[in-house]
Structure 1
Amino acid sequence: MTAQRAALDSHRWHWNHGPIDIVAEAYGDAAAVAAAHDAAWERFREVLSELVGELWLLRRPVDGDCALQGPVARRMWNACAPFRPTFITPMAAVAGSVAQELIGFYLRPGIERAWLNNGGDIALHLAPGQSARVGLFADISRFDLRDTGRINVDGSFDITADMPVRGVATSGWRGRSFSLGIADSVTVLAATGSQADAATTIIANAVDVQDAGIHRRPASECKDDSDLGDIPVTVGVDVLAPAQVRRALDAGVARAKALQQAGLIHSAVLVCQNQYRLVEPLCSNAAVPYAAPAMAVGSVFA
């Protein structure tokens, strides 16, 4: 298994290596953009083998002192450490941490703005005066890969350079990773991609309620090498009574606000069965959705 890359256009590359799938996009001086893409690509080629080398530690709960050695692995651990004693492993921040590692290569003169989108978990660079717009998609089960036209997103918001946000991440029971909750999607804005990734996992887990219409199985039965072991994860959610959905979202909002007060997130959007909640920023520079928002899908656009 070797890393592969393909140019999508003059600004974008698609990089793939095993489970890591990234779209890298940058704007600015052409020579600076090309040099940043090349440097980030060379680093990308090394990341998977580094993580595999410490995988047994990355699947262990965050506790005590960090014993990890690699820079991405340590970033994962540090992003998850604030959530102790809640059960969390560094794997909760893997996608955002990889994106965060690579965005560093774009912090150079001549780059106006750039983003690394790792399956919907995004790290950004914005020079002064620059901005990026993020599209959101509510329910990934509605996404049709055969649709080659422009994606009709459920909402969007702007991130400006003066905001304390350089990371966006999404989690939910329908996503790539397991969730303990029932949110279709929880999208978090935070200071870095790794912090956003860890926080959205915690908030999505909190969007929950007791109901016979929620179906769970031990994570180990769904994937034999899951870092969650025998913890029950959500595998199906029937149509619930609206009041139940409200209670689940209330629980998630309470967790999100607690993280916000602790300085761990900037803002969040929680979506469950056609209901959504917005945890607005505490500061005045708010990222305001343009429509009922939802799941970040792989596209950030100006």
Structure 2
Amino acid sequence: MNGPQAHWLADGRRLHLNHGPIDLIVEVFGEVAECRAAYAQAVARFQTILNELVDELPELRRPASLKPRAFDGATARRMEAAVVPLAESFITPMAAVAGSVADEILAAALAGRRLDRAYVNNGGDSAIHLGKGQSMTLAIAGTGHGLADRITIRAEDGVRGVATSGWRGRSFSLGIADAVTVLARTGAEADAAATLIANAVDLPGHPAIHRVPARDLAPDSDLGDRPVTQGVGALSPGEVARALDNGLAVAEDFRRRGLIAASALFLAGQSRISGSVALAAPNKHKAKETAHA
């Protein structure tokens, strides 16, 4: 495996950071000197972040409990803090790894800097900075069935993280959601909550759903022998609605508890949207767009 890599994308505005499984896009907005310094700080912090996680990986793969554990690394501590409030269900800190890495790199970029806006996008799980009076537009894609819409996050909304989970994504899922996008206070919190909401979008025991023990696909998976979704066959509209409502119940519980600000759940052309932050209703006639953050 190559060491940490950093290079500019073709537009000359976005910085690409890569090391093993970590793949980040960083973009900052503000005065030129402040932006230059912020990018340099992000690159410097990125040099050791993967090795720090690897050092504590065995414990990070163990289930969380309501009592926080002590971790040495800052990113590992972010991961643990994000999952402890959700630990009444099975969850490990790995459920928050992408969002926590994004949070950590953003914090490094912001340290001592004056920026208008910034984001770190870790494969769709993002950490966001918005200065006073600033806003940022994101695109929410309903993966695979033509759903896409934009949302605008304003500084006063208090949302600084967005994450998406589902069985079609990079990580394993216990549920059948095409995608669940969550807005929360941090990338880590959004990441962890999206994982559990996507797990809850499910029809346990349905014959059209193909599942395989996680360990058969990845021997070191934190999910062990738990069956993860590998295929979803034809479902009736009523079954799709029931699965989405199962997930929505969890999303609404998290929102009432102040753990998330909003969520959007997608499955087989249907959706559920919850939260005080305005998430535009899915529009089948609108072209899919790439998320800004």
Number of the residue aligned with 2:280? 289
**Which structure 2 residue ranges, 5 or more long, are not aligned?**
none
Q: Deviations over 1:8-48 (max 9, x none)?
A: 23421011000000000111101100100110111011100
Q: Is the 8 A contact 1:239 1:273 kept in 2?
A: no
Q: Shift in Å at residue 67 of structure 1? A: 3.1
Amino acid at match of 1:180: L
Q: 1:176 aligns with which of 170, 177, 180?
A: 170
2:22 matched to which residue of 1?
20
Corresponding residue for residue 32 of structure 1:
34
Q: What is the Cα deviation at residue 297 of structure 1?
A: 8.4
Task: Map residues 88-167 of structure 1 onto 2, 5 A cutoff.
Answer: 88-107=91-110, 108-139=112-143, 154-167=148-161
Contact 1:276 1:292 in 2 (8 A): no
Confirm whether residue 300 of structure 1 aligns to residue 292 of structure 2: yes
Q: Which residue of 2 aligns with 1:148?
A: none
For residues 225-252 of structure 1, give each alpha carbon's deviation from its aligned partner in whole angstroms, at most 9, with x where no partner exists: 1000000111100020110000000010
Could you list the runs of 5+ residues in structure 1 that have no partner in the other structure? 143-151
TM-score (norm. length: structure 2): 0.93
The separation in 2 between residues aligned to 1:85 and 1:290, in whole angstroms, is: 31
The Cα of 1:182 is off from its aligned counterpart by: 0.4
**Separation of aligned partners in 1, 2:64 and 2:12:** 41
How many residues align? The count is 285
**1:51 maps to 2:53:** yes
1:117-157 deviation digits (Å, cap 9, x = unpaired): 00000000000111110112211x57xxxxxxxxx971110
1:268 paired residue among 240, 255, 263 = 263
SS at match of 1:271: strand
> How far is the alpha carbon of 1:298 from its aligned partner?
6.2
CA distance, structure 2, for counterparts of residue 203 and residue 3 of structure 1? 33
Q: Is the 8 A contact 1:120 1:298 kept in 2?
A: no
- Give yes or no for contact 1:183–1:207 (8 Å, CA) kept in 2: yes
C-alpha contact (below 8 Å) 1:120/1:297 kept by paired residues: no
Which stretch of the first structure deviates more once superposed, 152-161 or 15-24?
152-161
Q: Partner of 1:156: helix, strand, or coil?
A: strand
- Is contact 2:29-2:116 (8 Å) kept? yes
- Tell me, yes or no, if the aligned pair for 1:26 and 1:111 is still in contact at 8 Å: yes
In 2, the alpha carbon distance for the partners of 1:15 and 1:153 equals: 29
Shift in alpha-carbon separation, 1:297–1:182, aligned structure 2, 3 A: farther
Counterparts in 2 of 1:232 and 1:247: CA distance versus 1, 3 Å = same
Identity of aligned residues (%): 48
Q: Secondary structure at the match of 1:181?
A: coil
Task: Note if contact 1:60-1:89 (Cα within 8 Å) is conserved in structure 2.
Answer: yes
Superposed CA RMSD: 1.8
Which of 188, 208, 217 is 1:213 aligned to? Answer: 208
Return the letter of the residue paired with 1:194.
Answer: A
Counting only pairs closer than 5 Å after superposition, residues 248-259 of structure 1 correspond to structure 2 as: 248-259=243-254
Structure 2 CA distance for aligned equivalents of residues 86 and 127 of structure 1: 35
Query: What is the TM-score with the length of structure 1 in the denominator?
Result: 0.90
Aligned to 2:187: 193
**Does 2:71 match 1:80?**
no
Task: Establish whether residue 69 from structure 1 lines up as the match of residue 72 from structure 2.
Answer: yes
Residue aligned with 2:157, SS? coil
Question: Structure 1 segments of 4 or more deviating over 6 A?
Answer: none
Structure 2 Cα separation of the partners of residues 273 and 102 of structure 1: 35
Instruction: Check conservation: 1:59, 1:90, Cα contact below 8 A.
Output: yes
Distance 1:277 1:60 in 2: 31
Q: CA deviation at 1:280?
A: 2.4
CA distance in 1, matches of 2:70, 2:167: 30
Tell whether the 8 Å contact from 1:117 to 1:299 is kept in structure 2 after alignment: no
Contact 2:273 2:279 in 1 (8 A): no
1:300 match: secondary structure: coil
